[in-house]
Amino acid sequence: MSYLDVNRRPTSKLKKFIQEYFDGACGPDFYQFLSETQESQEMWDIGWCLMDSGNSFESQFFGIMLLRIAIGSRNISQLEDGGLRIRDALLRVVAKYGRNTELNAGAVTDTLLKKTFQLLAYVIFQTIDWWDSPVRCVVSLLLQEIASNCEAQNLEWLSTSVPNKERRLMNVLLFLSIFMEEFTSANLLFRTRQRVKETILSDEPTVFQVFQQLLERQHNEDVVASVISCCSLWVSTLSSTTRSVDCVALMDLIYRSMSQSARLYLVGLDCIITLLEEGDMGLSSGRSIAHLLDYHVTQLAAFSGVFSDLLTVHAQAVQNGLTREDFTQHEMLNKTALLLLILTEKQMDQLVKRVVSPNGFDAPVHTLFRMLLLPLTTHGHYPCDECVSDLGVQIWFNLLDSPVTVQTNVEDTNTDRTFLGQIQIKFLDAAFRKAHYPSNLEAFFCDWTFEEREQWYKFRAELGDTFLLAYTQKQTELWFSQLPRRLVDWVNHNDAESLWPELESVLFVLVSISEQLSEEVSHKNPTSCQFLFDALDGVTGLMKHLTTVMWNPATRATNMKTLACQFVFCNAISIFIEHYVPVLCAVQSASLKNSTPLWLSHMFSFTVDWLAKSVNVNTYRDAKIMMSVSASKALQVFVHEFPQIVNYADKILSVLTSVICDTSLLSTTLETYTWQTVGMLVPYCPTGLLCQLVDCELDRLASHFKTHVSEPRCCNTGIVVTDVQRLLRSFLEFFHGLSKSLTKLKQCDADSIGNTAQARDYALHVLSSLTIGLSFTTDQLSSRLDSEFIRQFAQILQCALPICLVPQRSCEPPTPIFWERKTSFLSQSVQLFTNLFSQTPELYSSLLEASWIIVEALLMDIDCGYPSGVNFHSAQFKDGIQLLDVVLRRIDAVVVQSASLSLECPEAAILSDCGNSKSILDHPISPVLMALTAQSITDQIEAAAKFLRHVLSHKINQLEIPGCSCTQDLFCIFDHLIGCQSSPCWNLCFTVGLAGLCLPEWSTVECCIQLTQRLVLCLNQNEHKALLSTLFTGDLLFQLHACLLLILSKGALPRRLINKYADLYSALSTIEPDKQFSLLRSLLGLADDLTTWTNLLSSSSHHRSIHNSVLQSVSRATLAERDRFVRIVARTAVPLAVLRNSLNIFANACSCERG
């Protein structure tokens, strides 16, 4: 179908396509048109006619688009004329568009020119061998009337008078910018890119001369701004060349232009930022950079006054109530700070050297360092009033993190070193002020958005990290040493209430440096110990003053009446307690055994009292929750570090109960820490105190279970499930807290406070109640349980079962009640897990881990006290075997289902000659088949591998089972008891292990390597030699080694996986190494004659296909490299270091391109 009429004008059909394209309503006919014409001459004809027609903008734009598609679909340099006709035609169109300087055609012309320049750049790249100076040619064409004078070498037009000269200059700059952008982003062959770069470098002096003369002679602000932007593109892209890094004269003109107007200042900032980020302005060229750095420092220091004026204007704007968005010069302020930040990131080491080394360049570099301080002194609060303080923090961090700064000795009397120390102190003072909470806390918590508060908290955390880094340096010792004294002085101040932001900030700084200070105190550093105890005196004095004066209703000042202020203070003190009470208890551990220090009692009472008060407050919810979370963390510290707190257990539990029942405090984080604290208290207080709280939660959960069963299809089912999950989360955190306390008790002396047996007994009571409730639900529920619900309950079991079932040497003997409850729980668990595995089609890692703990407890319970192991006739042992059977069947079902899905893939056609579908799905299943879909069950493969490895590692001693040859390995016992003679469990291990070796998830690969390695070691034992001939078949060896070679040939393996693969090869080499040696040689194409392996490799399309894949994957490795690999990995007693090195060399050889 023709789309052009006899006059070579678009037909109605083509006009319709053009309209559809611009309306965004392209239909099937449009795409059919593109498909039919893309490879034909017709698209070229249509494109040229539309672009050169001078018709509507839409037609010309559509023509350019068609030509871009046509050029992109072929290499025009391979045409008969090498693309010269296309090049010349495009240059004519460029000349026509470029000379269209009518004012009313500006926007249209700019758009068409931009698209045409993009097309021209692509043509230049493809026809680069036909050009001498393409950039100079196009520039001359755009500026001169005589089109044939394309190769003009002079730049006389810069000083001559040309009609609409500014317009033409803007076109030139547009072309130069687009050309460099396209060169940077174009996907070019290496040779083409190098050839284009050589051509660009030949034109570079001319281009830079254009930039320089335009900056010197032009006064039009638009032109100057475009020159600076274009200049940044060229210099940053070509920064590695010698000519581009020495353009100081050009940079001098840019710096000079920045002082002419606010717009040029912004454009100049963008230019310098780009040069620093991408080209570094020649400062990383590898040669002496002192003179270049001095030059740029001098130029930037000249703008110190501008930056200071901006900050002054900004401060006045903030005082007048303007927000950050309303401040018109916000962009200038932000970009100036960004420029300083990038300069410090790139050149801070050199800048510090210039400061600390005596030279005649002090004034500019000192001015620059004072400029670095300015962003952190911005007036107002981040991020509502300004957004440069965060850049100031990063600048300060860069200064602190500089190795030169770290090495600087503050005791040196050198003036420049003293100046650096003074700057550090000024940074600390500025950061300390910025750490203050906004004075209007009501606005902070009520008017600021959640995102704004989160940004402020993040900014404050960055300040804290920088305070910590500053604390480690000598220049700041004096400033930090004065903090405790400042705290005491401010507390004793007559108007201490007005200083609450300063007081809170001191606590914040002390917490920020806690990591380093605690380390110093633990090493008995006397100065640090004294500093900590001085800080402790100040904090205890502050708590007393807060309680008796500042917050006393009769005496507190107006600005302290707001509860938000009180919550902020309590939050700061609670965080101080959380970080410092552990180290203080460690320092005073000897005295803590006999009595409770007064400071500890005060802190504990303060924490509990304010946690209780928060329950009765209905305002400032965010501030209240923040304080309550911190207080809960502090409470955990008291329980963990000072178990004598058991004397106050009833008070603590009363407060925690109030927090849990207070709906206004409903917060996931607070619930987490509250229930953890409840769990931590279990070993230290009578269980009767806990019963009311925990039993109430159990009753609520049971009620939700019944609701979920009785109304499975009601509209509130989703809400019920959510409530159940929230209640389950409470018990998960309860067991986490209990686990913390038991771990602490395990590390303590025998006479330490805490009843471990009581804790285990109560934990089993709670877990049994949960299990009964869930068992009732799974029995009665007609629909499936929610998968997230099952996962969450499995996590509870995974956390709780080690507490309840795994014997601990430090534990007291179990009570009869505990033993009875445990037996009942184990019996109930078998049915529960059977239901759970039938409810979910997936294998959750936490569920499998919990299942193994139950199986292990059922099969061999040390608490039972059997002298000769477990009686296999017992109901308990049979329950263990039954649960193991349920889990193995579930693993088998998941693996077989994945393999069945793989059979439906087209890639599985190569397996058609391996037998019927049933035999193909017999274990061990082909890893090539598993690899097709196993990636979708990566997590399940990993979980199954971990479970099977548990089973393989489990040994049962002194168990006699009639008719069973091996009475130690659980798999042998299992196969014997279920009456199976084909060893399905061993084969299932092979299936899971080999499937994991093919997956891209490294954690899964590692688990499966460990499983396969363990399996090989087990089979290589004397009692299993008979299984080798039936399990370790030739086909299995073929599959295993083929998978390993396919993985290794990909290269770039992490070091830890190379180590694991080396361990696996070491284990494999212990089984018939000669047999595997010949197999590997055949697989790698090294066999010299016909062997059994050669026949096997060619026996079916399945084997031939896999073999060809292996040969293709290792094709880059030479025969000698393959031979060396085989000789090392297939031999016994090879050191692991040698194996690792061989695997690494072979993987690199297979993956590297060879020149």
> Each residue of 215-233: pLDDT tens digit?
888 888 989 999 999 988 8
- Measure CA 970 to chain center: 41
* 785 pLDDT tier (thresholds 50, 70, 90): low
Q: Which pLDDT value is given to residue 69?
A: 81
Q: Return all residues near 549 (Cβ < 8 A) that are at least 6 apart.
A: 496, 555, 556
Tokens of residue 49, six digits: 């006619």
Q: For the ranges 172-186, 216-230, 283-297, 465-479, which has the lowest average pLDDT?
A: 283-297
pLDDT over 60 (residue 927) = yes
User: Which one is predicted more confidently, 911 or 167?
Assistant: 167
pTM: 0.77
| pLDDT top residue among 146 and 1082 | 1082
The radius of gyration computed from the CA coordinates of the chain, to the nearest angstrom, equals 39
pLDDT band at 990 (very low <50, low <70, confident <90, very high): confident
Query: How far apart, in whole angstroms, are the C-alpha atoms of residue 961 and residue 977?
Result: 9
Place of tokens 């500014």: 166
* C-alpha atoms less than 13 angstroms from C-alpha of 415 in its C-beta half-sphere: 6
Tell whether the torsion through CA atoms of 759, 761, 764 and 766 is positive or negative.
negative
Determine the 3-state secondary structure of 1153 from DSSP. coil
Decide: helix, strand or coil at residue 926: coil
What is residue 978's predicted lDDT score, i.e. its pLDDT?
A: 66
Could you tell me what percent of the chain has a pLDDT over 90? 22
What pLDDT score was predicted for residue 868? Answer: 45
Alpha carbon separation from 421 to 344, 355, 356, 573 (Å, rounded): 17, 11, 10, 31
Of 186, 193, 63, the C-alpha closest to 116 is 63
Buried b (16+ CB within 10 A) or exposed e, 965-997: ebbebbbbbbbbbeeeeebbbbbbbbbbbbbbb
Structure tokens at 578: 């959380």
Does residue 473 register a pLDDT over 50? yes
pLDDT at 961: 58
pLDDT band at 292 (very low <50, low <70, confident <90, very high): confident
Q: Which of 968, 922, 938, 1150 is nearest to 1051 (CA)?
A: 1150
The answer to whether the peptide bond before residue 807 is cis (omega within 30 degrees of 0) is no
List pLDDT tens digits, range 306-345: 999 999 999 999 988 887 777 888 899 999 999 999 999 9
Residue 136 has pLDDT above 60, yes or no: yes
Could you tell me where the beta strands, DSSP code E, fall in 741-830? none
- Is 379 or 8 the better-scoring residue by pLDDT? 379
Q: Is the pLDDT of residue 393 over 90?
A: yes
Concatenate the DSSP letters of all residues of 50-71 into one string.
HHHS---HHHHHHHHHHHHHHH
Residue 981 has pLDDT above 50, yes or no: yes
Q: pLDDT above 70 covers what percent of the chain?
A: 81
Predicted pLDDT at 356: 80
Instruction: Of 194-203, 272-281, 833-842, give the lowest mean pLDDT range.
Output: 272-281
> What confidence tens digit (pLDDT) does each residue in 621-659 have?
888 899 999 999 999 999 888 877 767 778 888 888 888
> Of the ranges 693-707, 901-915, 1120-1134, which is most confident?
1120-1134
Task: Name the packing angle between helices 500-512 and 514-522 (round to 10°).
Answer: 60
Q: Provide the pLDDT for residue 245.
A: 47
- The phi, psi pair for 969, rounded to 5°, reads -80, 125
Given a contact cutoff of 8 angstroms between Cβ atoms, the answer to whether 1062 and 1125 are in contact is no
What is residue 361's predicted lDDT score, i.e. its pLDDT?
Answer: 67
The pLDDT assigned to 825 comes to 87
User: Out of 544-553, 891-900, 1069-1078, which region has the weakest mean confidence (pLDDT)?
Assistant: 544-553
Say if residues 90 and 116 touch (Cβ distance below 8 Å). Answer: yes
The answer, yes or no, to whether the previous bond of 924 is cis (omega within 30 of 0) is yes
Q: Are 785 and 837 in contact (CB under 8 A)?
A: no
> Which of 331-340, 972-981, 1037-1046 comes out lowest in average pLDDT?
972-981
* Local confidence band at 426 (pLDDT 50, 70, 90 cut-offs): very high
What are the backbone angles phi and psi of residue 1066, rounded to the nearest 5°? Answer: -65, -40
pLDDT of residue 866: 42
Greater confidence (1000 vs 572) lies with 572
Please give the single-letter amino acid code of residue 1142.
Answer: S
Within a 13 Å sphere around the CA of 830, how many CA atoms are in the beta-carbon half? 21
3-state helix, strand, coil in the chain (%, to 5): 75, 0, 25
What's the maximum distance between 2 C-alpha atoms anywhere in the chain?
111
Q: What is the pLDDT of residue 1019?
A: 79
Task: Name the least confident of 283-287, 628-632, 685-689.
Answer: 283-287
Q: Which pLDDT score is estimated for 721?
A: 55
Cα–Cα distances (Å) from 501 to 48, 289, 603, in that order, read: 71, 45, 21
Is the per-residue pLDDT at 989 higher than 90?
Answer: no
Q: What is the mean pLDDT of residues 1090-1102?
A: 70
In angstroms, how far is CA 152 from the centroid of its own chain? 55
The number of residues in the chain equals 1155
Q: What is the pLDDT of residue 244?
A: 43
| Residue 714 banded pLDDT, cuts 50, 70, 90 | very low
Query: What's the angle, vertex CA 503, arms to CA 557 and CA 371, rounded to 5?
Result: 120
* pLDDT at residue 457, as a whole number: 96
**Nearest CA among 1113, 1112, 1081, 1119 for reference residue 1097:** 1081
* CA 1106 distance to own-chain centroid: 37
Among 181-185, 203-207, 544-548, 1116-1120, the range scoring the smallest mean pLDDT is: 544-548
Determine the pLDDT at residue 722: 65
pLDDT on residue 716: 44
Mean pLDDT for all residues in the chain: 80
Structure-token pair, residue 959: 């168990």
Between the alpha carbon of residue 1052 and those of residues 993, 1110, 1143, the distances in Å are 22, 17, 11
- Distances, alpha carbon 453 to alpha carbons 361, 378, 383, 610, 622, in Å: 43, 18, 8, 23, 10
Give the contacts of 602 (CB within 8 A, at least 6 positions apart).
540, 543, 544
pLDDT of the residue at 98: 67
C-alpha dist (Å) from residue 383 to 86, 445, 501, 649: 55, 14, 18, 43
What is residue 539's predicted lDDT score, i.e. its pLDDT? 92
Q: What count of other Cβ atoms lies within 10 Å of the Cβ of residue 287?
A: 10
Higher pLDDT, 538 or 714: 538
Using the predicted structure, report yes or no on whether residue 288 has a pLDDT greater than 50: yes
Helix (H, G, I), strand (E, B) or coil at 117: helix
Task: Say what the pLDDT of residue 932 is.
Answer: 75
The pLDDT of residue 148 is 40
